[in-house]
Amino acid sequence: QIEEGQKSYIEKIEIKGNNKTKDKVIRRELAVSPGEVFNSVRIKLSKQRLENLQYFEKVDTREDPTDVPNRKNLTVGVQEKSTGNVTFGAGFSSVDSIVGFVEVSQGNFDLFKPPTFTGGGQKFRLRVQYGAQRQDFLVSFVEPWFLNRKLALSVDLYHRELSFQGRDNRVDETRTGMRLGVTRALGSDFLIGGISYTI
């Protein structure tokens, strides 16, 4: 036999532990807002969304009582982790001869926060591959909340130079291009649609 009590509502939401990540980057992933019913299912969804960002070592949610009846505060605690990577290496193949590469990526990038460029929830990747037969340059940038909407804007810039021996003579090929794309969730987090333009 169950006797229901009165509903509780969220008074305020407090974010703790985000030394690098901007407050709005965390809040926009929450499935609850102040003034709404204290819904444990949506709070659990909020926790999963924050964990899926891969910005945090640990995410905790806690309810705190207030002086107002049927009102609770929600505290979201995060423990940040490193989101940047530098990768480099070298190789040899019969087609490309000797090739070396270096790649720098930041999963929690902020274009407008020099000199650290971290905490804005954007994604950045720079890859340079240089060899005797080919050179590749790639810059990739993603803004997952373009115009403060859950609309991901991606920009890719690339330049490739390739030299190889043809049947009768040597061939040099140069390709420079750009790809612009937007993607968004279609009704749920599990169905995503997008459109892109490449030049």
Measured distance CA(5)–CA(191) in Å, rounded: 37
Question: Tokens in use for 113?
Answer: 């926060």
Q: How confident is the model at residue 121 (pLDDT cuts 50, 70, 90)?
A: very high
Give pLDDT, residue 134.
87
The 10s digit of each residue's pLDDT in 127-169 is 999 988 889 999 999 999 999 898 999 999 999 998 877 778 8
Rounded to two decimals, what is the model's pTM?
Answer: 0.84
